[in-house]
Amino acid sequence: MDKFELKGQRLVALCMLGVLLFNYPMLAVFNVAATIFGVPVLYAYIFTVWSLLIAGMAYVVETKT
């Protein structure tokens, strides 16, 4: 398998993971009236997942294999 094809498949998998994590059922789980260090839980979840997806994409793009 070509390394570019493998990277493409990994990026598509990360995209699908992002779609699942930002879909309604997951967002509803974190839509509670609580805070984490003064930040609403839903906002903290969105920012954390968004950051992890960007880091995952950067890792996939920058790796040699």
Over the stretch 21-44, which tens digit does the pLDDT of each residue have? 999 999 999 999 999 999 999 999
Across the chain, the runs of DSSP E, i.e. the strands, are: 35-36, 39-40
At 1, the pLDDT band (50, 70, 90 cuts) reads: confident
The domains of the chain are located at 3-62
Residue 31: the pLDDT is 97
Residue 39 bridge partners (DSSP): 36
